[in-house]
Amino acid sequence: MAARHTGTYVLFDVLYKDGSRRSNRKVPGELLGGLDGDEPARTLIEAQDEEIAKASGRPRPVIAQLQRTPLAKPAKVPFKGKK
């Protein structure tokens, strides 16, 4: 049985050369932060895309750009105090 990941994930937006985009691709945070920067994320996402391509029978798209998904800003909720 494979080891289960219990840490945090980093989300990536992937833009492919054919113009398609995939958002919020999960990558374990423990793979990132070394001297290679975000390159391990590209390797993992390419491996995932290869598995998807084999299952679907379609060729794997080529990644043109890989960037971290920006953090969502929390919505401001108006304070409703007692009068």
Which residue range forms the structural domain that includes residue 20? Answer: 9-68
What is the sign, positive or negative, of the torsion defined by CA atoms of 10, 12, 25, 40?
Answer: negative
Distance from C-alpha of 29 to C-alpha of 1, rounded to nearest angstrom: 21
Distance from C-alpha of 55 to C-alpha of 61, rounded to nearest angstrom: 14
pLDDT for 58-82, tens place per residue? 999 999 999 998 887 878 887 776 6
Whole-model pTM? 0.73
Residue 20 is assigned to a structural domain of this protein: yes
Residue 49 is assigned to a structural domain of this protein: yes
What is the amino acid identity at position 8?
T
Residue 3 is assigned to a structural domain of this protein: no
Distance from C-alpha of 60 to C-alpha of 7, rounded to nearest angstrom: 28
Question: What is the pLDDT, as a whole number, of residue 49?
Answer: 94
Of all residues in the chain, what percent are helix, strand and coil, respectively (each to 5)?
25, 25, 50
pLDDT for 29-62, tens place per residue? 888 877 778 899 999 999 999 999 999 999 999 9
